[in-house]
Structure 1
Amino acid sequence: MARLIFLGRLEDIAGTGEMSVASGPVEHILAALDPALAVQLLGEKVRMALNGRLLTDMGGIVLGEGDELAFLPPVSGG
C-alpha cells in the first residue's frame, strides 16, 4: 500500500488528511478517486511531493509499497 496526503483545502475536499491506496501508476490511482477530487488534485497550481521531495515532472509516477505522495495546494497569505 501507498499513501496519499492531502494538505490545506485539499484535505477539506477529500474529507480526510490521508488515504491508503494500492501501489501503482498515479494515473490509475487518481482514476479510482471521486472525479471531483481528482480534478482538484490535478489543478495546475497543485504541487506534488513524493516521499518528501517536490516533483518537477508529474508524468509517469508509479507509487511503490510504502511510498507517500503529498498534494500541496497553492498557499495564500497576507
Structure 2
Amino acid sequence: MRVLYFAWVRELVGVDEERVSPPAEVATVAALVTWLAGRSEGHARAFAEPARLRAAVDQAFVPLDAPLGDANEVALFPPVTGG
C-alpha cells in the first residue's frame, strides 16, 4: 500500500510517501494511523491527535473509521481550508 503525506503531516513524518504492508488486523484508516504511529518518532508526533487528520482512500475522501479494503493508496493530511 502506498501512503501519501501532505502539509505538516509530511513535515513531521519526514517523507512525502512510503510503501507499507500493514498486518491483516489493520482494517480501517484509523487502525492504519495507529499502526503508522509506531514506525518512528516523527510518525508518532504526526499521528498523536488523529482527530486533526483527514484521509482519502484511492483518491476518495473518507472518514477515519472507513475500511481499507484492498486500498492501493491512502493519503493523510490536515483539514483543508481555503479562501
Local SS of the residue matching 1:59: coil
Q: Which structure's residues are more often helix, by fraction?
A: 2
Cross-structure match for 2:73: 68
Q: Distance in 2 between matches of 1:18 and 1:30?
A: 12
After TM superposition, the score normalised by the length of structure 2 is 0.66
Q: Distance in 2 between matches of 1:62 and 1:38?
A: 21
Runs of at least 5 residues in structure 1 that lack an aligned partner in the other structure: none
Q: Distance in 2 between matches of 1:19 and 1:51?
A: 15
What percentage of residue pairs aligned between the two structures are identical? 23
Runs of at least 5 residues in structure 2 that lack an aligned partner in the other structure: none
After TM superposition, the score normalised by the length of structure 1 is 0.69
Aligned Cα root-mean-square deviation (Å): 2.7
Asked if 1:17 corresponds to 2:16, the answer is yes
Higher relative contact order (CA 8 A, sep 6+): 1
Count of aligned positions: 75
> CA 1:38–1:51 in structure 2 vs 1: closer, same or farther (change >3 Å)?
farther
